A and B are shown apart, each in its own frame.
Chain A
Amino acid sequence: MIKRLTYLLVGFFLLTGGAKLYAQNADFIAAHNFANQNKVDSAKARIDKAMSDPKVQKDAQAWYVRGFIYKMYYKAKESENRSSPARIEAVRAFRKSIQLDTSKQLLNDDKENLKYLAVRYHNDAAKALDTSNYETPIYNFQQYKDIMNEIEPSMSTKGKEIEFTMALATVYTNLYLASPRVRNKYLDMAKGAYNRVLTVDPDNVSANYNMGILYYNQAVYLIKVTDFDIDLTTMDGLQENQIKLFKQSLPLIEKAYQLDPQKEEAVQALSGIYFGLNDYQKSQLFMEKLEQMKKQKKDK
């Protein structure tokens, strides 16, 4: 990779006359040399110094070298830091290089480096996402998406976005279930995440099913936490809310079942919803369907 830096810069200077800058700024030369020797601390210190020169600041190649050195630094010193400041700076520098590089000589290399950093952002988002930490992964995934949309606008990030948002919705759901209340912020966040998936992918079986189950469980939870001393008039209002939630759950689970008729969980949930709506006949029909499915599966 270091060879690549030297090769690239020599070629670039010959074409653009950038050697002038190279010759005039000792810090820039030193930064380049330190980078070639893999001395990342020194390279970083000298490129920082070099960038204080207004001439250097207007130079695409200088920004490319800065990006390259910061990328090296990130790989050597901050690869486990999911909020790595060096990675942020490397991305900024490559973007600036693209912006200033009117000759487009550095464009492919800038993009190649940005893509590497974008993939690292994505991997970090995937690895770190859990109930104790979701904000940094959200930031990292957004970085991945923004960079990829800039450098490869024709390539859709939709698939990755669905995958990430589904995982995020599961995190929110687990946080909600860890301390369930009739309403809490994680319940709304989980619903928001599933809604985002359903907006771009209305036929997503898991999103339809899980969103339906969120409403379903919310309905059941309403009565589960109710004290036996509730007065009957208040209980009537509670039943009203519960029915509303079951009715919100129904079309989502029905859709999951239509999309995947072999999905036993959906059939079971439909039986539960109709039971919740006190439609015992329909509930029984789905229960029988479930038994049939189980029998068929066993017979196979």
Chain B
Amino acid sequence: MAYLFLTAFQQREDAAAMNAKYKTIYLYSFTKYIEWPPDYKDGNFVIGVCGTQTSLLAELNRMASTKTAGSQKIEIRSITNIEAAGKCHILFLPTENMIQFGDVASKLKGHGTLLVTEKEGMLKKGSAVNFIVVDSKIKFQLSKLNAEKQKLKISHELEALAVGNND
């Protein structure tokens, strides 16, 4: 007699989506701990993602559909050309798109854009926040100096949560 209720191989959940969720939580948290210049306080709060990171864009859009940045509606943009990116409050540059997008930091100089990267050494190349992996966990490094160059004010709480002093 065979079992009618057969043993099935279980399906695994998507780990990439999980990683995207962590990054989304971080990016959304930055909206609470960072102050943007006055001319960035009107209109939508734009989070741009360089390239077509499907999982991350999906997670960010899910977040944007229920959350706001203060009183600003959150808008998620998939950026394929930095020159045509428009006004972004946060710009995330994934490692795999670094070559394609070139020197993003210099292109954003003076804009009120928080550049977020995920590669060792990127703070030296102008990014203000850099995701790193520490003991298998996603954490972030922070350069207050680079943020200030973009006219952004970083809260002490966020500074305390960052890994090490990077300035």
Contact = CB atoms under 8 A, between A and B. Distances in A.
B8 A224 contact: no
A272 B12 contact: yes
A126 B3 contact: yes
A53 B160 CA distance: 87
Interface in A113-130: 122-123, 126-127, 129-130
Contacts of B85: none
A169 B9 contact: no
Contact of A130 (B5, B11, B66): B5
A145 to B, nearest CB: 15
A228 B63 contact: yes
Interface string B122-162: 00000000000101111100000000000000000000010
B25 A228 contact: yes
Nearest to B7: A166
Contacts of B1: 122-123, 126-127
Task: Give the interface residue-count category, chain B.
Answer: 35 or more
B6 A268 contact: no
Contacts of B18: 219-220, 223-224, 242, 276
Interface in B80-106: none
A226 B13 CA distance: 15
A126 B13 contact: no
A269 interface: yes
Contacts of A223: 18, 21-22
A278 interface: yes
A275 B21 CA distance: 13
Contacts of B10: 173, 209-210, 213-214, 217
Interface stretch (A21-29, A37-45, A77-85, A233-241): A233-241
Indicate the member of A122, A221, A272 with the most B CB atoms within 10 Å: A272
B29 interface: yes
Nearest to B29: A232
A129 B16 contact: no
Nearest to A239: B137
B24 interface: yes
Contacts of A129: 3-5
B136 A170 contact: no
A268 B12 contact: yes
Interface in B1-60: 1-19, 21-22, 24-26, 28-29
B2 A126 contact: yes
B6 A278 contact: no
A213 B10 CA distance: 7
A283 B18 CA distance: 14
Main secondary structure of the interface of A (DSSP, over half): helix
Contacts of B67: 228-229
Contact of B12 (A206, A232, A269, A279): A269
A166 B12 CA distance: 18
A210 B137 contact: no
A229 B21 CA distance: 12
A275 B137 contact: no
Contacts of B7: 163, 166-167, 169-170, 206, 210
A55 B163 CA distance: 86
A88 B63 CA distance: 58
A210 B4 contact: no
A127 B25 CA distance: 47
Nearest to A240: B137
Indicate the member of A228, A235, A243 with the most B CB atoms within 10 Å: A228
Nearest to A247: B136
Interface string A199-224: 00000001001100110110111011
Contacts of A278: 19, 133, 136-138
B58 to A, nearest CB: 13
Given A265-B9, A272-B15, A276-B18, 12 more contacts: A130-B5, A163-B3, A167-B3, A167-B5, A213-B10, A223-B21, A224-B13, A226-B21, A231-B29, A240-B137, A243-B135, A278-B133
17 contacts: A126-B2, A127-B1, A129-B3, A130-B5, A213-B11, A219-B18, A220-B13, A220-B17, A220-B18, A226-B25, A243-B136, A268-B12, A275-B15, A275-B16, A275-B19, A276-B15, A279-B133
Q: Which 9 A-B pairs have the closest CB atoms?
A: A220-B13, A272-B15, A275-B15, A213-B10, A166-B7, A278-B133, A276-B15, A167-B3, A123-B1
